[in-house]
Amino acid sequence: MPLYFLVLAPTGPWEVVSWRVLLSFVFCLLLLSVTRSWPKILAIVRRPRLLLWTAVAGALIYVNWQVFLIATLTGHVLESSLGYFINPIVTVLLGVLVLHERLRVTQWVALGIAAAAVGVIVVGYGAFPWIALTLAGSFGLYGLVKKQLGPAVDAVSGLTLESFWLLPVAAVQLAVVGATTGLTMGTAGAGHAVLLGLAGVVTAVPLLLFASGARRTSLSVMGLLQFVAPILQFAIGVWLGEDMPPERWAGFALVWVALILLTVDSLRHARRSRGVGDLGAIT
């Protein structure tokens, strides 16, 4: 994702996000027609509670997209990777605060280490990691909202409605960009126009695959797979030569320790749960 959006220069983050919203909506409409899923989305429209939750999900994913693009296009890929490293920890914290889940000792230790990591970055590096925390918080809350929606809203219908709610925001942003710096669509060559036009597909496909994959695999596997994206983003940020002083290394290292603790704890708990389930089946 960071490399893709960097190639879209000179298009700025506000214009890119606007095209992501508009073209994701168009792409989802095509998917609904091809899969003949219009009855599903009409059933959701008849339920105001579900509609409200899709609007909330749309607002959260918009914040996530916008902050991610600002970070990527202003040389803060490393901080965006930190946000997605923190995301699993935020998810655990939301489980406690919102769903009133009980944490095991290891999980509490991991949360404490993560909090210490933020403190190290703020004090040692001298900057509050607002990009990282906004990305982690917005995507963590987005996952919580998707959990509230549950199986009542399928992946395509959900993303269609989320994009629909954001259409006015995208239209206003395009108008403002057009009136100030000017729109870049069609002004930087055919190749650039094609890449910018594919922004909707590049945006929609990973979200749809994530929503579908979450129903087909265990949470422990999903948790491990979610580390792949921030690891790749971190590697890209280092490759691009972004600043990585010792204080920032210390903060990242603490986050990685917290994630290792969470991962080991989750895998051990999953094995125990399977063992109990197998024993129950035998008896």
Q: What HEC string does 42-100 produce?
A: HHHHCCHHHHHHHHHHHHHHHHHHHHHHHHHHCCCHHHHHHHHHHHHHHHHHHHHHCCC
At 255, the pLDDT band (50, 70, 90 cuts) reads confident
At 276, the pLDDT band (50, 70, 90 cuts) reads low
* Arithmetic mean of pLDDT over the chain: 84
What average pLDDT does the segment 7-35 reach?
A: 92
What average pLDDT does the segment 117-142 reach?
A: 84
What average pLDDT does the segment 256-277 reach?
A: 75
Q: Is the peptide bond before 10 cis (omega within 30 degrees of 0)?
A: yes
Asked whether 32 and 157 are in contact (CB, 8 A), the reply is yes
CA distance 76 to 72: 6
Helix H or strand E encompassing 143 = helix 130-149
- Residue 181 three-state SS: coil
pLDDT of residue 120: 80
The answer to whether residue 194 scores a pLDDT higher than 80 is: yes
Asked whether 73 and 6 are in contact (CB, 8 A), the reply is yes
For 197, counting Cβ atoms within 10 Å of its Cβ (0-12 exposed, 13-18 middle, 19+ buried), the class is middle
pLDDT of residue 275: 62
Task: State percent of the chain over pLDDT 90.
Answer: 30
pLDDT of residue 19: 94
Virtual CA dihedral for 16, 20, 22, 27, nearest 10 degrees? 150
List, for residues 56-73, the tens digit of each pLDDT value. 999 999 999 999 999 999
Region of poorest pLDDT, from 48-62, 96-110, 207-221, 267-281: 267-281
